[in-house]
């Protein structure tokens, strides 16, 4: 994987606009990973994808993440910040293509969810239906007392055990941020959705950059490619001169 220039990231952002919500960062990953095919990227587990996105975000916008949240107890708004290093899980996803689990009378073979799996269930309006479809996509074999059964016949305890095993095998896939309310002192954990967070940043950055390109092109008659090749510092200097 490689860092992206302003022009490369802008092109990837434009391609991502036509993708579904769960696939919009794939063009960004593709631009940063020219040696990986589209099939290779789509086959990444969620944790592997998020690990790549974390590194790419650090290269693009720095290591500090800042956001706002609302206290789940009193509703007070608060600002929080975290460093990229604190979001990385030391253990990487297990390389095994198939995982297995035996519990009580049940024996199940399954794999980790991939980007395409999440994209396939993202449009389902009901969360239970989405979870069931994801389970059906990931489970390759389910048996009870040696007899083949369908996923819908698996009891809740077995499904929960599968979910836990997936989390253990791909720990980067679910990252929580510790938060504390300064008003009431309530402490809780908030799920950190790296893909959504990074895309929001890319989208805001692209809008700002295109505004800068418009201003400099209008003032100096420069081509977009020439403006994008300027460092952010030099673009700022020229923008300050234009607005002076």
* Residue 153 forms part of a structural domain: yes
pTM (2 decimals)?
0.85
Does residue 76 sit within a domain?
yes
How many domains does the structure of the chain reveal?
2
User: Domain end: 124, 140, 169, which one?
Assistant: 169
Q: Residue 106: which domain range?
A: 99-169
Residue 75 sits in the same domain as residue 118: no
**pLDDT tens figures, 19-75:** 887 788 999 999 999 998 888 888 888 999 999 999 999 999 999 988 888 998 998
Is residue 189 in some structural domain? yes
Compute the distance between CA of residue 157 and CA of residue 163 in angstroms, rounded to an integer: 10
Q: How far apart are CA 10 and CA 27, in angstroms?
A: 10
Mark whether 151 and 183 lie in a shared domain: no
**The domain boundary residue, chosen from 169, 204, 221:** 169
Contact 114, 40 (CB under 8 A): no
Spans of the chain below 70 pLDDT: 93-96
Q: Whole-angstrom Cα distance, residue 13 to residue 202?
A: 7
Asked if 208 and 238 sit in the same domain, the reply is yes
């Amino acid at each position: 994987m490689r860092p992206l220039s302003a022009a490369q990231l802008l092109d990837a952002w434009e391609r991502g606009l036509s993708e579904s919500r769960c696939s919009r960062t794939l063009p960004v990953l593709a631009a940063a990973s020219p040696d990986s095919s589209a099939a290779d990227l789509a086959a990444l587990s969620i944790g592997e994808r998020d690990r790549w996105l974390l590194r790419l975000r650090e290269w693009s916008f720095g290591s500090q993440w800042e956001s706002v949240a609302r206290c789940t107890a009193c509703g007070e708004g608060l600002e929080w910040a975290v460093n990229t290093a604190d979001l990385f899980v030391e253990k990487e996803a297990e390389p095994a293509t198939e995982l297995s689990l035996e519990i009580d009378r049940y024996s199940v073979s399954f794999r980790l969810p991939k980007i395409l799996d999440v994209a396939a269930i993202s449009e389902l309006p009901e969360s239970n239906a989405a979870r069931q479809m994801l389970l059906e996509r990931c489970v390759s074999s389910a048996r009870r007392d040696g007899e083949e059964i369908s996923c819908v016949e698996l009891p809740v305890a077995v499904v929960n055990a599968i979910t836990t095993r997936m989390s253990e095998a791909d720990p980067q896939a679910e990252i929580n941020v510790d938060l504390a309310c300064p008003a009431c002192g309530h402490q809780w954990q908030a799920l950190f959705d790296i893909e959504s967070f990074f895309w929001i940043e890319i989208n805001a950055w692209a809008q700002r950059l295109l505004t800068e390109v418009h201003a400099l092109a209008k003032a100096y008659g420069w081509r977009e490619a020439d403006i994008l090749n300027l460092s952010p510092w030099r673009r700022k200097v020229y923008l300050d001169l234009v607005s002076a």
